[in-house]
A and B are shown apart, each in its own frame.
Chain A
């Protein structure tokens, strides 16, 4: 059985210690990392997302679920690297230049990781140059930009322009998000997608990966 009920529960209840223990037990029982991710972590994350949409879970619960997923990935990631198992996609994520807010971005990053994506988190106040460098070096499929202030949102456009100037724009899908960001703005600046929340972001990445 490639599932761990304990891991599923641990993520749902935001229990990082239990997630760690359940993951170790699953590894010891011979369950393959990707099976554990798709069998237990992704369903747990989908349920967390659903509860958030239903307004039963809020930002704290998302952060704690993310923390639990991170502790599971701490054990799974080295195994996947060692076995040469390729993650389904690589994502570079960061909050744009001038903006120090990162809670939403952190939630998206941990949910993407929990879905089995390789996530390179550049942190906050990330310059367009730094995004370009990360894309050049790490060749991700996705670049996710976050901003919480209307004053810093223009940096999303300058980042896309910088990718364009570096000849990298067509090599990645650029997704944007953050409280004041909208679908209209995404269209205006030529982003490939926008999502209102972390759950939606994961869904969007999966959809775009499937070629939709």
Chain B
């Protein structure tokens, strides 16, 4: 098959690995990570890439995305079918099984997840440029203390910085998801160092490439993948299947 992959940057390392081993002819593109922070602006950015790929005569457009806080809800297939793995987010994708993810999440509250992509591509101080000026303000929580003080004064600036950072202080552990894809060792060390710096516990779990592998190999069993036929759109269900087409 001739396949197009549109993939979140955070999955680049894992996706490159499985694409290189796929028997199909695949063209892959990455979009910057963190689009889920843009809320409603995420979908149009993805839809634009899907629409562009729709002209390429591919047998399918594969999405290296999950429900992503509903950021992928409403995506529409043009004349090319879309294929989605069933997962809430990239962490679930890298665990390879949404049931395992839910079980782990339920028994490990207060955990901050890291994967090789989350470490490799996280540039300190990098700010995503949103599509609209108003969206820029909605992601105010990414601003530095200095920027907030400059805009709101010292008292309010400090208050806002504390508020936006508060949830991070409630994390008690960091879980590193290893998928064996390089540079796994280096990323593991950095993850461990981050945990120590924050005073968090550190745990490593084995991820799985099974969802990404089956995505690019074309084995799209209905239990784990959603195939969106031409003209249909993606809908989030919050149920067992996570996403459906309508």
Contact = CB atoms under 8 A, between A and B. Distances in A.
A149 B163 contact: no
Given A64-B156, A150-B89, 17 more contacts: A14-B156, A55-B134, A58-B138, A60-B137, A60-B160, A63-B160, A64-B152, A67-B159, A98-B106, A100-B109, A103-B141, A125-B109, A151-B89, A153-B238, A154-B238, A179-B39, A188-B238
A149 B88 contact: yes
Interface string A98-116: 1011110010000000000
Contacts of A154: 238
Chain B interface size, as a band, is 20 to 34
A90 interface: no
A59 B141 contact: yes
B164 interface: yes
A103 B69 contact: no
Interface in B154-168: 155-156, 159-160, 163-164, 166-167
Contact of A150 (B138, B159, B164, B236): B236
Interface of B: 39, 67, 69-70, 88-89, 92, 101-102, 105-106, 109-110, 134, 137-138, 140-141, 148, 152, 155-156, 159-160, 163-164, 166-167, 170-171, 236, 238, 242
Interface of A: 14, 16-17, 55, 58-60, 63-64, 67, 97-98, 100-103, 106, 124-125, 148-154, 179-180, 185, 188
Contacts, number: 82
Contacts of A149: 69, 88-89
B101 A151 contact: yes
Contacts of A185: 238
* Secondary structure type dominating chain A contacts: loop
Given A60-B152, A100-B171, A106 B102 contact: no
B155 A17 contact: yes
B69 A180 contact: yes
Contacts of B69: 148-150, 179-180
Given A58-B140, A125-B109, A150 B238 contact: yes
B79 to A, nearest CB: 29
A185 B73 CA distance: 14
